[in-house]
């Protein structure tokens, strides 16, 4: 499966991506993490991205898509990848198409998690993230084994600064306006698949895998 996950914050994209990684061995590419790692590791692309950030500029789309392409190529095509957090604009979607076509690993599905505002608010308010490794948890849906402590690395869990209720409504409006052209891009290419994001993460995961298996989009050896 070579798939991009689209939808508002709180739609469950990150959680579903983590399940795809843990259960199917699919490469999980979270664009924010990828960028931070490249800057920290001082790769040539990371150095260039770091310069843009130091100047207070956005990292150019071509740089981010080159990082994604390199990660996909390094990992081999194997079981495919799930991309979470990118593209956020139609221009980024076009840049991503070009980079992945060059790597002969084009996106074969864009999955949109259509989610109601009430469900999003409920989810974001309970969300906790590990300060050390970035693993996501949820107070009720996906609690850690020990309260406030990351299962993977023992790091401290905290709410995200932008998950305060008063900022959520504003983020949703911005996100919706930005996402519409991205959805239109994948719709035009015949790649858009819409799922009900109000369901539990487990239900979305199961339905997604079943749909992908039916359509033959699971790479060989990719079985739960």
Residue 135 in contact with Zn ion, rule: CB under 5 A: yes
Closest CA to 121 of 172, 56, 77, 156: 172
Residue with Cβ nearer Zn ion (106 or 155): 155
Q: Rounded to whole angstroms, how far apart are CA atoms 195 and 209?
A: 12
Q: Rounded to whole angstroms, how far apart are CA atoms 84 and 82?
A: 6
Q: Rounded to whole angstroms, how far apart are CA atoms 156 and 134?
A: 10
Sketch the per residue contact string, 102 through 131, with Zn ion: x for CB under 5 A, - otherwise. ----------------------------x-
146 is catalytic: no
Of 132, 156, 180, 184, the one binding Zn ion by CB under 5 A: 132
Q: How far is the CB of 17 from Zn ion (least distance, A)?
A: 16
Residue 153 in contact with Zn ion, rule: CB under 5 A: yes
Residue 92 in contact with Zn ion, rule: CB under 5 A: no
Q: What is the total count of residues that contact Zn ion (CB under 5 A)?
A: 8
Of 47, 52, 133, 158, the one binding Zn ion by CB under 5 A: 133
Q: Which of 79, 109, 127, 128 is catalytic?
A: 127
In the three-class reduction of DSSP (H, G, I as helix; E, B as strand; rest coil), residue 145 is classed as coil
Q: Rounded to whole angstroms, how far apart are CA atoms 207 and 20?
A: 12
Q: Which of 23, 51, 160, 170 is catalytic?
A: 160
Listed in order, strand segments (DSSP E) in 41-132 are 81-84, 109-114, 127-130
The footprint of Zn ion (CB under 5 A) covers: 130, 132-133, 135, 150, 152-153, 155
């Amino acid at each position: 499966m070579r798939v991009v996950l689209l939808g508002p914050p709180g739609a469950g994209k990150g959680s579903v991506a983590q399940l795809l990684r843990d259960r199917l061995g699919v490469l999980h590419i979270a664009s924010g993490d990828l960028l931070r790692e490249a800057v920290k590791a001082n790769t040539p692309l990371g150095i260039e991205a770091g310069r843009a950030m130091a100047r207070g500029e956005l990292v150019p789309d071509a740089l981010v898509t080159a990082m994604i392409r390199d990660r996909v190529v390094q990992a081999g095509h194997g079981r495919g990848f799930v991309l979470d957090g990118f593209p956020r604009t139609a221009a980024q979607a076009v840049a991503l198409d070009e980079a992945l076509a060059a790597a002969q690993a084009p996106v074969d599905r864009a999955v949109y998690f259509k989610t109601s505002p009430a469900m999003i608010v409920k989810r974001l308010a309970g969300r906790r993230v590990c300060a050390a490794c970035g693993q996501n948890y949820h107070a009720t849906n996906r609690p850690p084994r020990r309260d406030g402590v990351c299962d993977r690395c023992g790091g401290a869990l905290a709410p995200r600064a932008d998950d305060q209720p008063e900022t959520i409504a504003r983020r949703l409006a911005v996100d919706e306006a930005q996402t519409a052209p991205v959805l239109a891009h994948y719709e035009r290419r015949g790649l858009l698949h819409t799922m009900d994001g109000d369901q539990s993460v487990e239900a979305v995961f199961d339905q997604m895998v079943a749909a992908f298996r039916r359509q033959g989009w699971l790479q060989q050896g990719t079985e739960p």
